[in-house]
Structure 1
Amino acid sequence: MTKQDVLKQYFGYDTFRGGQEEIIDALLAGRDVLAVMPTGAGKSVCYQVPALLLPGITLVVSPLVSLMRDQVTQLVQMGVPAAYLNSSLTYRQYLLALDRAREGRYKIIYVAPERLDTEGFQSFVRSAQISMVAVDEAHCISQWGQDFRPAYLNIPDFVDRLPQRPVVGAFTATATSEVREDIQRLLELEAPLSITTGFDRDNLYLEVCRPSVKRVELLARVRERPGECGIVYCSTRKNVEEVCQFLQSSGISATRYHAGLEPEERQQNQEDFLFDRVQVMVATNAFGMGIDKSDVRFVIHYNMPKDLESYYQEAGRAGRDGAEARCILLYSGQDVRTAQFLISQSEPSEQLDPETARQLQERDLGRLKQMTFYCCTRRCLRQYILNYFGQSAPDYCGACYNCLHNFQEIDVGEDARAILRCVAETGQRFGAGLIAAVLCGGENEKIRRYRLERERTYGALAALSQREVQDRIRFLVDEHILELTDGQYPVLRCGERAEDVAYSDGPLMMKAVREERPAADRRRAEDSPLTERQQALFQRLREERAHLARLRGVPAFVIFSDKTLREMAAAQPRDLRQLQNVGGVGSFKAEQYGAQFLEIISDFQETAAI
């Protein structure tokens, strides 16, 4: 069997996505791999396909109980013998799974990093043929990553103790160059193929909104997507409780998830969301890592996350099936203050010395600054994210709010020169808020304390509101004309282009927002909406999928994704051969479910013909 045979038979696809084939070839040739691929780009296929072709067992190390369960469920539904070993199993279940593993009944075993050094697991691997170790969420090994897990540091010792070193693959969705270097060094990868497939998810529509009342905006956005599932992320447990209660009282099918709930309730709420018993999950960032639900159509951040790594990973949980999805961030200045508080109150790992802990906090504050810039930029949002991760991108994507919005360009050259003069004459020691207040002729305690009303630029931009001045300041920072220092209380300083602008009398064009919203979002050609008749068939197919899911006790998306059902509704196959030409329909699933879905399509066509 070839890799193409495995892809078609088990996964139901004819071609690999970008980067997948190169990674699979390297692993099959015995070469270590470090792969950075965005959420939804198909990382799991990169180790699952070679796992089915290599002679022995593949161990997938993951910190995520939910991911293990979901991926094993999907693998079993595709006809792949797989299992997981983690804290969700009882001791008896754990021993039974180990016995079956010893009997060679599994090709893929998911295991938590804490289990690697246990006596029972060590006894098993000493006598088993381990062909590959795949390290998922590999950024967890780096203290500079956004989710450091000390147990990951034990993986290299575990690999060294195996009777024969297997090929090692490291996979993550988001990693800066510093974190990638850490992964390679700490995992002791040997001359790895290092590949970054690109961070772009062109099926995601990106938007930052500054609503006057967040709840009103949130409710409107959820109601825009009737019958579709989504996630609403909040920064605190209190916000989760309040937002969930508000949505429920407004008639929205919603549930909640945060670390303060009893484990039984968290598990039940998670399953209600996975099994489509509720439409919306309101959660802290404790929810979602490893939730392999492919048909999430929107992710709304009620509060701004602390960094772009977290934001893009959380937003990327929308549209994992490749169909159009929306990622909306509801921003306010209070979000910045909340994030600063959370960073200052976070407890450093006991393994860190004080100086390293201080450096990590400074790094977190620097990341928060970049996150804030994202929320305020007038540039293409997709370009901003891709540039942050070191990837070049055009300045127009046609699929984010900033690109689609009806901006007007205004000349802010004179305003910029006034701002630069104010920053310079006040000693480059104040933040954006105070500089804006001085320029607008404001009166507050800080202005009086530092006698800033005596400055020549006091009231120089009194014709503008403080918000308009701060918009101009953010623009100047974005253009490297001004700089914001790192730290809890960042101050403005003149940037690398300040002198050129200060001594020029020419125009400086800035995009300013018009209040009207764009008429429509751009959708990719392949996501063009179904006709009314096809939409009716799609709903019939979804009902059949829900029925089969209930019978088998699995989430609906495990049977077929929404994208697969849409393609099925458009193509309307008449037999199993045609059905297997639909993306996501492998031979095992066609054998299990094909007759039921073909019957629905046939009945629909007969009814339509009458």
Structure 2
Amino acid sequence: MDTPTEVLHRVFGYDSFRAGQQEIIEHVVAGGDALVLMPTGGGKSLCYQIPALVRPGVGVVVSPLIALMQDQVDALRALGVRAGFLNSTQGLDEQQTVAATLLAGELDLLYLAPERLRVESTMRLLEKAKISVFAIDEAHCVAQWGHDFRPDYLALSQLHERFPQIPRIALTATATPATHAEISTRLGLDQARHFVAGFDRPNIHYRITAKSEPKRQLLDFLRTEHDGDAGIVYCLSRASVEKIAEFLVEHGIAAVPYHAGLDAATRAAHQARFLREDGLIVVATIAFGMGIDKPDVRFVAHLDLPKSLEGYYQETGRAGRDGLPATAWMAYGLQDVVQHRRLSLEGDEAHRRRQAHHLDAMLALCETVGCRRVMLLDYFGQKDAEPCGNCDTCQTPPASWDGTVPAQKVLSTVLRLARERRQKFGVGQVVDILLGKTTAKVLQHGHETLTVFGVGAELGNAEWHGVVRQLLSQGLLAVESDYGALVLTDDSAAVLRGQREVLLRRDLAPARSRSGSGSGASKGKTAVELPAAAAPVFERLRAWRAGVAKEQGVPAYVIFHDATLREIATLGPASLGELARVNGVGENKLAKYGPGVLETLAAETSAS
């Protein structure tokens, strides 16, 4: 029987484990249960794949990602691993073939959707097979009030009841301390060993900018920093997804929409294009992304405020899985706060409390004057983080200012409208009153006679909107659910009486980025990370890889990751033996793709 280190080298082509992997793998290989919290890109999959290859029998992987199972299996087969899956996309004949292969002992890994385990015939099939380990991927889906809840995950505790001798490993990249505890309880893993590998993704640059013209801001961001890069743009509504995708295409940027309103065939086609093509952007709702294993996603952009920090971390974590620099960019504004405050008033009392907690944490990240990474890690229970130096607030520290008087003016306007006129209005009318604008609506309601009319001339329209946004964020203003009218809160009175100081974050004007290649642009990265002589070699290898991937009908990263091609281009191996020493080149890939790589390198040498 091979050791974990031997499997790592022979199958996956790596000489050493990443931090935390070896201890987890050896624990599971020895038959122990494990609950693993590890950041996206940290190598979670090896933590169950290697035990499945070391222990006798087949590893059963429970995953909610039906649409990605084929790609997951293709990637393993490219490594020489005998992998298969059972899900609802297969016909009866195909399912019977996989079942027969399983019972014949000819599978190393079998992927199942959680709903399959509710089917008694599936459980009986597994009882007939020799199972090495059960892996429960995306384990946060068991958390009932989480952002990716899957009801079928609640039944997974039966695995231990029916297979008590088989080790289980549950894994997730997204879990607060409360979610961690819920996963442990619901999956019956309280007695398991828990591994928390941290949540930091140091290669991701977090940046949140004041929203002014979001389409233009996004276009500037893409053109100046990520021209030609693959990435994901998240929007809250299906309509916004369609509009932004159309806008990008009109401006010469390859983009496709993805949301639940599209038919299944279109969604599958767009997802397949994203995985297989270089430089394609997917504009999507949160329906897209979980389990996407594309390593070279260079950015994730948000044009709307996510509902929670869990969702934000999960979504931004899809960038930079290869460990190279990536950007998490968001445009955030007043309407985001108003909309989410309204949504947080829906549902029963318990639901409203949860929604308010999620929103408060999200807003705190947006409005902080400190390191965003420190705040993000603190939310997930990692309390000892130091300022990262790689987020916008570290690189350009924002100023805070005493906004007590402007806050009093806003609150006083809302108060006078309610007391003197028995009226409630939204942000626009309140700001118009403060600025002394004699609009038709102001004159219609006689608001020019209010004592607060025109008292806000010291600030401009955008600045007043920023003040209102931060008052909403701090809970000093609230929004009524029906029409978005502003109302006071229990905390407003202390500000009005001068008993509470209000510190506000000074918004930096959203500046247009300088033209030309930015630090994140593909061409810029290649030039920086490769010696000049290696850059054309890398591009030639990418072209070879694209041709092979197209011929085999698999994503390019299934052949080799960019990081592996960069190392090949830099080292210039002249033999299979030298190529075998490159990270990411295991035995099967060496035999399958090695001659093609060497031929490409030889052709490049001859051409030069």
Matched, 1:235 2:236: yes
Secondary structure, aligned partner of 2:118: coil
Cα displacement string for residues 82-101 of structure 1 (whole angstroms, at most 9, x for unaligned residues): 11111111122111111111
Report the CA distance shift for 1:89/1:536 in structure 2 as closer, same or farther (over 3 A): same
Aligned-partner Cα distance in 1 for 2:449–2:44: 58
1:397 aligns with 2:388: yes
User: What is the match of residue 573 of structure 1?
Assistant: 573
Q: Which position in structure 1 is the counterpart of 2:309?
A: 308
Tell me the residue number matched to 2:363.
372
**Residue 513 of structure 1 aligns with which residue?**
508
| Residues 217/175 of structure 1: CA separation in 2 closer, same or farther (3 Å cut) | same
Per the TM alignment, residue 276 of structure 1 is displaced from its structure 2 partner at its CA by 0.4
Cα distance change, pair 492–517 in 1 and its aligned pair in 2 (3 A):
farther
Larger displacement relative to structure 2 (44-53 or 216-225)? 216-225
Structure 2: which amino acid aligns with 1:69?
Answer: Q
Number of equivalent positions:
587
Which residue number corresponds to residue 458 of structure 2?
463
Distance in 1 of aligned mates of 2:333 and 2:491: 26
Kindly state the Cα deviation for residue 334 of structure 1 after the two structures are TM-superposed: 2.7
Q: How many percent identity over aligned positions?
A: 37
After superposition, the Cα gap between the structure-2 partners of 1:320 and 1:491, relative to the gap in structure 1 and judged at 3 Å, is: farther
TM alignment of 1:21-40, pairs within 5 A: 21-40=22-41
Could you say what secondary structure the match of 1:533 adopts? Answer: coil
| Counterpart code for 1:250 | H
Verify: 1:215 aligned to 2:206, yes or no: no
Equivalent position SS for 1:97 = helix
Aligned-CA RMSD value: 3.9
Q: Is the 8 A contact 1:436 1:469 kept in 2?
A: no
**Following the alignment from structure 2 to structure 1, what is the Cα–Cα distance between the partners of residues 480 and 21?**
40
In structure 1, the residue matched to 2:421 is: none
Q: Does the aligned pair in 2 maintain the 1:65–1:86 contact within 8 Å?
A: yes
Structure 1 length normalisation: TM-score? 0.84
Summarize the Cα distance change of 1:378–1:116 in structure 2 as closer, same or farther, 3 Å threshold: same
* Structure 2 counterparts to residues 2-401 of structure 1, below 5 A: 2-162=3-163, 164-224=164-224, 225-276=226-277, 279-339=280-340, 358-392=349-383, 396-401=387-392
Paired residues of 1:436 and 1:466 also in contact (CA < 8 A): no
Measure how far apart 1:149 and its partner are: 1.3
Which letter maps to 1:131?
Answer: S
CA shift digits 1:3-29 (9 cap, x unpaired): 111111122222222221221122122
Rate the CA distance shift 1:602–1:156 in 2: closer, same or farther, 3 A: same
Q: Is the 8 A contact 2:377 2:385 kept in 1?
A: no
Q: Distance in 1 between matches of 2:335 and 2:353?
A: 20
Closer/same/farther in 2, CA of residues 184 and 432 from structure 1, 3 Å limit: farther
Shift of 1:75: 0.9
Match runs of 1:434-453 below 5 Å = 440=434
Paired with 1:364 and 1:535, the residues of 2 have a C-alpha distance of: 49
* SS in structure 1 of the partner of residue 321 of structure 2: coil
Task: Note the C-alpha offset of 1:64.
Answer: 0.9
2:328 alignment partner, SS class: strand
User: Is the alpha carbon distance of 1:49 and 1:491 closer, same or farther for their aligned partners in structure 2, counting shifts above 3 Å?
Assistant: farther
CA–CA separation in structure 2 for the residues paired with 1:373 and 1:433? 21
**Partner SS, residue 116 of structure 1:** helix
Question: After superposition, what is the alpha-carbon deviation per residue over 1:137-167, rounded to whole angstroms, capped at 9, x for unaligned?
Answer: 11111212212211111111243123x4311
Q: Which amino acid aligns with 2:585?
A: V
Shift of residue 587, structure 1, vs aligned partner: 2.1
97 and 37 in structure 1: CA distance in 2 versus 1, 3 angstrom threshold: same
Q: Does 1:557 align with 2:557?
A: yes
> Aligned with 1:18: secondary structure?
coil
Contact 2:173 2:314 in 1 (8 A): yes
- Quote the Cα distance in structure 2 between the aligned partners of 1:596 and 1:230: 29
* Cα deviation code 1:341-368 (max 9, x no counterpart): 66677xxxxxxxx8xx541343123312
Asked whether the equivalents of residues 324 and 527 of structure 1 are also in contact (C-alpha less than 8 Å), the reply is no
Task: Report deviation, 1:103.
Answer: 0.7
Of the structure 1 ranges 511-520 and 70-79, higher mean CA displacement relative to structure 2 is found in: 511-520
Is contact 2:341-2:478 (8 Å) kept? Answer: no
Greater Cα shift, 515-524 or 37-46: 515-524
Residue 226 of structure 1 deviates from its aligned partner by 3.1
Assess, with a 3 A threshold, how the Cα gap between structure 1 residues 418 and 554 changes in structure 2: closer, same or farther. Answer: closer
Q: Which runs of 5+ in 1 are unaligned?
A: 346-353
Q: Deviations over 1:98-139 (max 9, x none)?
A: 111111111111101110132331221122222311111111
Structure 2 runs not aligned, ≥5 long: 419-423
CA contact (8 A) 1:365 1:486 kept: no
1:512 deviates by 5.4
- Give, in angstroms, the shift of residue 381 of structure 1: 2.1
Larger CA deviation: 66-75 vs 42-51: 66-75
Offset from partner CA, 1:422-479 (integer Å, 9 cap, x none):
869999x999969985995768999x99x99989x9977652346546656877999x
Residues 210, 509 of structure 1: alpha-carbon distance in 2 compared, 3 angstrom cutoff? closer
- Decide whether aligned partners of structure 1 residues 454 and 514 sit closer, same or farther in structure 2, where only a CA change above 3 A counts: closer
Structure 1 residue 388, shift from structure 2 partner: 1.8
Q: Which residue of 2 aligns with 1:534?
A: 534
* Partner residue, 1:349: none
Structure 1's 423 and 530: CA in aligned 2 closer, same or farther, altered over 3 A? same
Output one character per residue of 1:237-276: Cα deviation in whole Å (capped at 9) or x when no partner. Answer: 1112112222222222222221112211211121122110
Counterpart residue type for residue 272 of structure 1: R
Following the alignment from structure 1 to structure 2, what is the Cα–Cα distance between the partners of residues 491 and 58? 57
In 2, Cα distance between equivalents of 1:486 and 1:153: 36
Q: Once the 2 structures are TM-superposed, how far is the Cα of residue 556 of structure 1 from its aligned partner? A: 0.5
